[in-house]
Each structure stands twice: as structure tokens, then as C-alpha cells.
Amino acid sequence: MDDNAYLDELRTAITPLVQEVGLKETAATVSPLFLAARYANATTGVEFAVEWRELSPRVTLFELSGGAFVDLQDPVQLSGPRRVSFDADDLLNLRKPAPSPVGRRLRRKGPGEIEWVMSLYSQALLTAASDVLHGDFEVFDQLDAIVSARAGSLGSGS
């Protein structure tokens, strides 16, 4: 299967989410190592990615600044301004939609795999992240505390 066909699978999988919240594709990268596509509306960005070596999907939610993506912050920062991007898994673990894509991996690099896992993410985000997708980032304060606590526990060796 051509690597660009995986991008087409991703686009198909997230169509309901894209249409529901008015997302537009802003960038896409396809390589032998990973696949990534960024989408945005006026307030919110979403990056969908797959790292092929680990067969690992990743979805990141962004609070846009002036309509633009802000580069990812240091995930282990313990203090400072609130982060403006979060792994969607943290939000989904907090809100527990069913079915949940959290922890799912692609079974292989093959037809249908990206569509399967990203469809799960699309549905879970529609269910559990409607506020964020429509520009209400209040939950990001809670996510920031969760991420900071996790970073603190990593730094303390516990």
C-alpha cells in the first residue's frame, strides 16, 4: 500500500469530526517513518499522527494562538504558563468515553488499520471533547495539572 493511501484512510476516518466542528486540513506529512496531518478551525487545532515503528497513533489537541498552532511545549515542565497543547489520551482518560481508543495500537502497517483506530479517536473526540473542539479550553487547566503531576512524579523517581 502506498504511503499516501494511508493519508487518505486517515482523512476518511476523521470525516465525521472534520464536518461536525468545521476543521480544515492545514498540513500533512507522509514518510516511511510517520504520518501526520494537522487540522484547525478558528480556535482549535488537532494533529493526527502515526509512528510506524511502534504502530502508535497519537492525537494532540491545540489551543490556537491567533489561528496558528503553537509549537509543543516541554512535556515535563513543572511550572510556568499553562500548556496550550495536550495529548488527547489525557482528556479521554479524564472523561472516559466508550469505546475509548486510548492505548490502542495498529495491529500492523496495512490497509484499514489507520481508518480503524482514527475512527475510534474521531468518535471519542466528538463525544468527550466537544467543548475543546468549539473553543472552550477550561479543561486544559485540569489537564495541565495532570501533566505537571505526572512530570513531577517522573522527576522524583517514584
pLDDT tens for residues 8-47? Answer: 999 999 999 999 999 999 999 999 999 999 999 999 999 9
Which domain, by its residues, includes 72?
3-155
User: Could you say which DSSP state residue 67 is in?
Assistant: T
Read off the pTM.
0.91
Provide the pLDDT confidence category of residue 70 given band limits of 50, 70 and 90.
Answer: confident
**Site of grid cell 477550561:** 138
Q: How many independent structural domains does the chain possess?
A: 1
What is the layout of strands, in order, in the sheet containing 34-40? 24-30, 34-40, 44-51, 56-63, 85-87
Sign of CA dihedral 124, 130, 131, 135: positive
Instruction: For residue 71, give every residue at least 6 positions away whose Cβ sits within 8 Å of its Cβ, in sequence order, or none.
Output: none
Closest CA to 142 of 129, 153, 123, 158: 129
